[in-house]
Structure 1
Amino acid sequence: MATRVFISDPDRPSFLEQLYQGRFRWDILTGFPEQDERDRAIGDEVVAELLELIDAKIDGDAVDREAALPDGFLPELAARGFYRLQADPDVGGRALSQYNTYRVVQAAASRCTPVALSIALENALGAAPYLSVLPEGPLRDVVRAHVAAGRFSCSAETEPQGAANWRRQTVAERIPGSSDFLLTGEKVFVGHAPIADLIIVSATVRDGGEEQIRRFFVDADSPGVTAGAWHTYMGIRGFPNGWLRFDRVRVPAERMFGEARIAHRVRQTPASALLNMRGRLYLIGAPSQAVADLCCDWSRDFVRRRKIDGRGLGEYEEIRRRVAESLADRYAIDTVARWCLLPGDQDLPVNPRFEQNLAKNITSLLAWQVADRTMSVLAAEGYETHDSKAARGLPAEPVERYLRDQRNLRISGGVDFFIDLGVALQSTLAFWYPPPEPGHAGEPPAEPALTVRNNGHLRWVAAEVGRFGRILGALTARYTREELSERERTVLLIGGFARELLTCSLVLARAAALARAGEDSGQLPADVYCTSARHRVADLVRQVEDDSPADFDGLATPWLDPEGTRA
């Protein structure tokens, strides 16, 4: 069968790709990877070095309060190779694995989110990662020299018209009589825009009556480039982020990254899309895991010291339940990150790209649940600011700061509901028009490594994957792809359904792998996670199958009508 989605790999199976087609392939997950000791030791050293630097020079609450990092701190990060974590040593890189890069960003986020985002940005979307995809030639030489010099870069993607638009309003027009281009347009929400030396710009190129998205590598000091004021956000204060304007900027033809055309409509070029999928683990997943880790620690410390009418807070059933759910969500975030990154490090015969595409929503939404739950557990002390707590002599955990930072992570890289919708439209539905070849949904055998309860969850997941396929089969038989695409709430729910089933499958697979190695630490968090997820899935299915929804359009349309009244 021809490849329907460009991230498919005919030589490496994908668990999620099979799930999208209603097939439960437990065999793909049974070899759930763990980081090997040698690689972990390498990562430990880099993490320790970074934390020593941050602890000596960064006060996260001061950065948040002043909305600025200390002068000279980001250049020091660059000089010490933290923006070249995966690059080769011959350009000053540290040649870290994907998972160790994730761990470094996570460690930075445990102290200060803006620092973590700066490191993540350069290693996810900056110049250094492009060295892994650029062919030999003048452009690669330029980028290589830039990386070796330890200079700043940025990726300019989002436009004032909105990140969700397929077309790029920024255009690159070939100069008559020349092979060079004139670049014109505006970009917003660009990380490192105020400090970048090299800008990677997405633009529409018209060639032979067709339009293609291309990447241009533009020097920030080129005539016609304007770096505007910093954006001010509710959270991530101090992270250098701003807008850029390009007014007929001349760009040599060799500065365009030309890739093979692909058949379907995309906002990004194939190489940048693949970098972005993995990169969002660094930009979103790692900071989200840091938030979940911190919140679990803060909840434990608060519950241990707090009493209500002489009764310890931890003696209350609801408090214990909330703490357990946070621990399970933290375990799920960690599990998803490992599955998405370790196979690439270890060259395993699986394709994690589909999972990487969903990881942004999984990690950011779960961490948001943990942060919000922690705010409730800590009650008044959670809502109180760090400075106010300190003034009263209380342990000054910055819960509210990290809550604001985490809210950004639900938006950055694509707002959460749009991610579920987009993944379902671009990936899931691609396998159902025409429908996939008939095949058994799959039912796992009893897994000796899992507890009785987790074996029950495993059987449930397998059954739900089968139901997922039947629901999609019925919907795609009833509606054309265009008709179903217009039923956005239904498609969005399908995306959420797949996300929940994937995460349950992964936490069970990791728990089983740990148990086979003599470690039972995954059993309880997997049980708690799946128990909560089963309730969420039941609600998703009810909504998908609801034949008599409320008249949402009837209420919203008159309100949104420019000629309407606000009655």
Structure 2
Amino acid sequence: MSAAGSEEKRSLEVAEAAREGEWRRPSFVKAMFMGQLQPELLFPFPEQDAADRAAGDEILAQVREFLAKNLDADRIDRTGNIPKPLIAGLAKLGLFGIKIPKEYGGLGLSQINYNRIIHLVSSHCASTAVFLSAHQSIGVPQPLKMFGTPEQKQTYLPRLAAGAISAFALTEPGVGSDPSRMSTRAVRSEDGESWILNGEKLWITNGPIAELLIVMARTNDPEADKPEITAFIVEGDSPGLERVHRCDFMGLKGLRNGLLRFTDVRVPAENVLGGVGEGLRLALITLNTGRLTLPAACAAAMKQALAIAVDFGNSRCQWGAPVGHHEAVAAKIARMSADIFAVDSLTWLTSAMADGGTQDIRLEAAMAKLYCTEALWRCTDDAVQVRGGRGYETADSLRGRGEAPVPTERMLRDARINLIIEGTSEIMHLFIAREALDAHLKVAGMSGATGKMDIKSAAAYYAKWYPLLWLPRAAVLKSVDLPFALKVHFWYLERATRRLARDLFHMMLRHRQGLQKKQRVLARLVDSGAELFAMAAVLARALSPGAPPGADKLADLFCRQARRRLNRLHRAVYFNDDGRDYRLAREILAGQYPWLEENILSTWKEQDSGS
């Protein structure tokens, strides 16, 4: 095996070892990939408890008033700074401990109410929303709640709820999403009472100002085949902890994000979180919950984008009519509206699933993150296009020449990062595909990340399972009572779920264990699953007694559009240019087409540090 092949195998084995354990609770998405539609897991659409909603309404009213008076989003974008008085005000409102239990000084609110707050903040200022979310969705509070000892919780949760800013330090300059190459190390001190931490962490949101951090480090021999990764609670003022650089990005200009360096940082032994060697598993489980915030933030930004497009569509006249009355613009507004309904439905569905605790939502959370962030990018791009030159112009420039300071340009810049943070779209495709394949791999007797297929075992199972994928399931079709206009979409949903499982099975037969390397095939299957999950969510919400007016029309439009996308994805699974694309890309990477880069000036190559 080549060195590159050995490295890939090692990386896959590390990721495999860190996965969550057995599926002990039902999962709607997992069942879909086995060809089973389980509407009882989504229907009826979960409604927020009245008392829980009242608790959320009370804090939301306070937050709305505070934001309107104190948060100047354009100023934050311009100056690159969230003012300290604003941070103090957010802390006073309790927004640093939204989900921290009241016994530790937090608000003790549900996931739904947490997301309602992040939704409101996101609609006005993405930098502030990410600042708050990074602190408690993936910062210290969430993993501490889930994995901390009683002593750790008593020590740190009150500080965090009162306003101690936190961060989560996992990524490294040369590692990215590959934990097998993590270089930050922690070794036990001679007296055994502490760990000595050395290394660097990159792109750590809130890192430059964090009072407390979760830091992931390797705690075994660097020459060992598999790294033992451990999570540590680290004080922000620890000697040897250096804030080396603050990163500046396309958007989220107010974010404090940077490069951190640890040089002989001493961490008390009691600050190990979750146990030695449990760090990567802790990180993955934390990210599962943390990803639930992104759909709420996406929904808010999309609603703001729609409000901007509708306002301009009504007020701006071209060629004798408002621009919104022209078919090309109207199509964008219709698509934005349908996508918003889907993203909003996924947001509150997955939030309720998290609060309910009766389902395994690792796939649902990942799919919601993937689907909603992609939809947000389309939506903000459409809003910029609808406003034309005014969409591309900054709010400050618009204000300077006497027009309303509509922040469309800022929203587009801020939206782009969502396809990257907490797992890029590409990583989400691979993560979802691996989890979705889990049941099939067990049936096929394939062990680990690169095991071989047990043909006899697979044949015995699939000989009974596969024929059923061609037969409609009458009990499922009769289980949900929908108006006829939506019932036809539910029937399609049931058929397409069986088709998805067939497509996956066919690709397993074609590629065997090599399927896990067919990233584009897997991505199409995952995208198909995401479209089906979104369809199920909008149909369930449209049927809900609490559905907003016009929900049936939006659900119908979304399902029509989703069905067209699904049919294209299905065809592309079998008929595509993946092989040609890959071969040509390798030739280009090998320098066989130097003329493609002729007559350009690339000064950055001369300044490249080799990273």
Letter in 2 for 1:6: E
Residue of structure 1 equivalent to 2:609: none
Residue of structure 1 equivalent to 2:582: 553
How far 1:16 sits from its partner (Å)? 0.7
Pairing partner for 1:286 from 296, 299, 303: 296
1:456 paired with 2:488, answer yes
How far 1:486 sits from its partner (Å)? 1.8
Bigger mean CA deviation after superposition, 401-410 or 492-501: 492-501
Contact 2:541 2:547 in 1 (8 A): no
Which blocks of at least 5 consecutive residues in structure 2 are unaligned?
A: 1-17, 445-460, 597-611
Residue of structure 1 equivalent to 2:377: 368
Q: 1:162-196 CA distances to partner (integer Å, 9 max, x unpaired)?
A: 42213222122223452532211111111111111
User: Alpha carbons of 1:322 and 1:446: their partners in 2 closer, same or farther (altered >3 Å)?
Assistant: farther
Residue of structure 2 equivalent to 1:154: 167
Residue of structure 2 equivalent to 1:466: 498
Q: 1:141-178 CA distances to partner (integer Å, 9 max, x unpaired)?
A: 43235325531111101110142213222122223452
Matched residues in 2 for 1:106 and 1:519: separation? 18
1:115 paired with 2:128, answer yes
Matched residues in 2 for 1:166 and 1:332: separation? 34
Q: 1:338-397 CA distances to partner (integer Å, 9 max, x unpaired)?
A: 11111333x364333320122211111111111111112222221222123223433321
1:318 paired with 2:350, answer no
How far 1:478 sits from its partner (Å)? 3.1
Matched residues in 2 for 1:78 and 1:520: separation? 36
Give the match's secondary structure for 2:145. coil
CA root-mean-square deviation: 2.6
Matched residues in 2 for 1:103 and 1:534: separation? 30
The structure with more helix, counted as a fraction of residues: 2
Residue of structure 2 equivalent to 1:265: none
Q: 1:449-480 CA distances to partner (integer Å, 9 max, x unpaired)?
A: 43323211111121111111111112222333
Contact 1:339 1:352 in 2 (8 A): no
1:189 paired with 2:203, answer yes
Contact 2:244 2:259 in 1 (8 A): yes
Structure 1 runs (4+) greater than 6 angstroms displaced: none
Contact 1:153 1:192 in 2 (8 A): yes
Pairing partner for 1:342 from 352, 374, 380: 352
Letter in 2 for 1:202: M
Contact 1:432 1:472 in 2 (8 A): no
How far 1:228 sits from its partner (Å)? 2.1
User: Alpha carbons of 1:519 and 1:491: their partners in 2 closer, same or farther (altered >3 Å)?
Assistant: closer
Alignment of 1:122-271 (within 5 A): 122-147=135-160, 149-167=162-180, 168-176=182-190, 178-206=192-220, 211-259=227-275, 269-271=280-282
Q: 1:68-92 CA distances to partner (integer Å, 9 max, x unpaired)?
A: 1223322332243211001122322
Give the match's secondary structure for 1:303. helix
Letter in 1 for 2:310: R
Contact 1:181 1:253 in 2 (8 A): yes
1:511 paired with 2:522, answer no
1:44 paired with 2:51, answer no
Give the match's secondary structure for 1:331. helix
Residue of structure 1 equivalent to 2:439: 431
Contact 2:64 2:120 in 1 (8 A): yes
Residue of structure 2 equivalent to 1:277: 288
Give the match's secondary structure for 1:110. helix
How far 1:237 sits from its partner (Å)? 0.6
Residue of structure 2 equivalent to 1:400: 409
Structure 1 length-normalised TM: 0.91
Matched residues in 1 for 2:107 and 2:442: separation? 46
Residue of structure 1 equivalent to 2:606: none
Bigger mean CA deviation after superposition, 431-440 or 122-131: 431-440
Residue of structure 2 equivalent to 1:300: 310
Matched residues in 1 for 2:83 and 2:147: separation? 34
1:99 paired with 2:131, answer no
Matched residues in 2 for 1:370 and 1:305: separation? 20
Letter in 1 for 2:289: R
Overall identity of the aligned pairs, in %: 28
Contact 2:497 2:532 in 1 (8 A): yes
Give the match's secondary structure for 2:377. helix
Q: 1:399-456 CA distances to partner (integer Å, 9 max, x unpaired)?
A: 01001000111111122233112321x2112221133855555643257743323211
Matched residues in 2 for 1:125 and 1:548: separation? 39
User: Alpha carbons of 1:243 and 1:529: their partners in 2 closer, same or farther (altered >3 Å)?
Assistant: same
Give the match's secondary structure for 1:55. helix
Give the match's secondary structure for 1:433. helix
Matched residues in 1 for 2:393 and 2:140: separation? 40
Alignment of 1:535-554 (within 5 A): 535-546=564-575, 549=578, 551-554=580-583
How far 1:15 sits from its partner (Å)? 0.6
Letter in 1 for 2:256: P
Letter in 2 for 1:203: A
Structure 2 length-normalised TM: 0.85
Contact 1:170 1:202 in 2 (8 A): yes
1:389 paired with 2:398, answer yes
